């Protein structure tokens, strides 16, 4: 998991789905010309149960980029769900296009029919560009939807427990580095204060941390500053990572931990809610060599999937939050295994997830409804 799929380059070169997705069970392309729907559903593994992962609605530059993203994201969900202790496999979907222009009830319902056709091998939920209200539209055509609005008996905004779980992981990282599971008196730089980042800022402020934020969306920064005047804002992620921070929390898109970032980063901890933070295979070793503690993204950001998975049992926020609290202990275990085996934290998280997929998965095989 610590190594991700590499894009093939120009769109004209084409992506070999069988080569890039050699670990995946199934990749489905969905097309509805009447609504403009172009979607891809990738099921990485159903060894632990039906695949669960959100639907990302994003204006990819080309289909190749969408394929690479959905394959990476679905693979990540297998590891995330396994490490979170869920009896669920990994899947993900992307809808290609600008949601501000393309999203409609008709398109979402058409997409729902495609998800329904998979007959429960894949459960969808919210992701970048999709919201609980969208899941309500999808659910009018599909039984395999979670993350719905509270009004429809759902878990609502999953970013609430994503942020809470990330904060628990950050507390475990603080304990590992400074001996105490608190961010009090530390400076935390949060890149991205949208759906998840804004909730994370609240937890950090309440814990006594000093917080510095940045976001490409100026109104998001203004909203945070209005709620927490003590929070400082900087103009860009480049400025944030080069500043005097103790913890770097990437909470936007993937690839946040790049060679360029590592050259200037002074933080002792990287712990954020973004998916696929490592920009390329091998960079986790560079992070380790720099003496920076990396809290693996899919370990600490699993609160959201824990929240929406709980909805499948009949949602209880208290029950879901209790399970998300366990992210603290899971992150601790990752650090302990990394120390014991002499490997990076990214590799340690992979080993724990793979062990569960192997030991429990062999009892189940491919999920069929």
Residue 268 CA to residue 224 CA, distance in Å, equals: 25
Q: Is residue 92 flagged as an active site residue?
A: yes
- How are the residues of the chain apportioned to helix, strand and coil, as percentages rounded to the nearest 5? 45, 15, 40
Q: Would the annotation count 197 as a binding residue?
A: yes
Question: Coil, strand, or helix at residue 58?
Answer: strand
- The DSSP 8-state label assigned to residue 5 in this structure reads P
- Upper half-sphere CA count for residue 124 (Cβ side, 13 Å): 36
Q: Is 241 annotated for ligand binding?
A: no
Give the other-Cβ count within 10 Å of 42's Cβ.
28
Torsional sign, CA 174, 178, 181, 185? negative
Establish whether 272 is an annotated binding residue: no
Distance CA 267, CA 192 (A): 17
DSSP codes of every residue in 261-327: HHHH---SEE--S-SS-BSSTTHHHHHHHTTPEE--HHHHTTHHHHHHHHHTT---HHHHHHHHHTH
- Nearest CA among 325, 290, 295 for reference residue 307: 325
Q: Parallel, antiparallel, or unpaired: how do β-strands 89-96 and 187-191 relate?
A: unpaired
d(CA 102, CA 312): 29
Task: Decide: 234 and 243 in contact? Cβ < 8 Å.
Answer: yes
Check the annotation: does 194 bind a ligand: yes
**Candidates 38, 80, 92, 268; catalytic one:** 92
Distance CA 30, CA 40 (A): 6
Distances from the Cα of 273 to the Cα of 21, 143, 195, 200, angstroms? 25, 28, 10, 9
Residue 285 known to bind ligand: no
Q: Which residues are annotated as a binding site?
A: 192-197
Active-site positions?
92
Q: Which residues are annotated as a binding site for NAD(+)?
A: 192-197
């Amino acid at each position: 998991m610590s190594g991700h799929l590499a894009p093939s380059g120009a769109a004209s070169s084409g992506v070999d789905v069988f080569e890039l997705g050699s670990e995946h069970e199934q990749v489905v392309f969905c097309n509805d010309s009447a609504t403009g729907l172009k979607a891809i559903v990738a099921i990485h593994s159903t060894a632990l149960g039906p695949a669960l992962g959100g639907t990302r609605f994003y204006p990819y530059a080309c289909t190749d980029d969408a394929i690479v993203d959905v394959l990476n994201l679905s693979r990540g969900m297998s590891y995330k769900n396994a490490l979170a202790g869920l009896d669920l496999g990994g899947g993900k979907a992307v809808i290609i296009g600008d949601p501000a222009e393309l999203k409609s009830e008709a398109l979402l319902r058409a997409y729902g029919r495609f998800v329904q056709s998979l007959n429960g091998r894949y459960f969808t939920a919210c992701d970048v560009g999709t919201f609980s209200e969208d899941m309500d539209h999808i659910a009018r055509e599909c039984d395999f939807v979670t993350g719905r609005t509270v009004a429809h008996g759902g878990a609502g905004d999953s970013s609430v427990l994503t942020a809470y779980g990330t904060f628990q992981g950050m507390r475990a990282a603080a304990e590992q580095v400074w001996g105490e599971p608190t961010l009090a008196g530390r400076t935390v730089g949060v890149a991205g204060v949208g759906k998840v980042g804004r909730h994370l800022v609240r937890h950090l402020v309440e814990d006594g941390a000093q917080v510095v934020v940045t976001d490409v969306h100026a109104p998001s920064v203004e909203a945070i500053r209005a709620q927490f005047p003590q929070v400082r804002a900087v103009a860009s992620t480049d400025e944030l990572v080069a500043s005097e921070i103790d913890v770097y929390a990437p909470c936007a898109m993937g690839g946040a931990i790049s060679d360029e970032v590592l050259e200037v980063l002074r933080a002792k901890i990287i712990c954020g809610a973004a998916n696929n933070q490592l920009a390329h295979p091998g960079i986790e070793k560079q992070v380790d060599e720099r003496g920076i503690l990396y809290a693996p993204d899919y370990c600490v950001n699993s609160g959201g999937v824990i929240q929406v998975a709980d909805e499948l049992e009949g949602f209880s926020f208290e029950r879901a939050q209790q399970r998300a609290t366990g992210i603290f202990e899971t992150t601790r275990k990752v650090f302990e295994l990394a120390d014991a085996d002499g490997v990076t934290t990214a590799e340690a998280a992979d080993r724990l997830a793979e062990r569960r997929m192997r030991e429990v998965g062999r009892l189940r095989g491919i999920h069929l409804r």
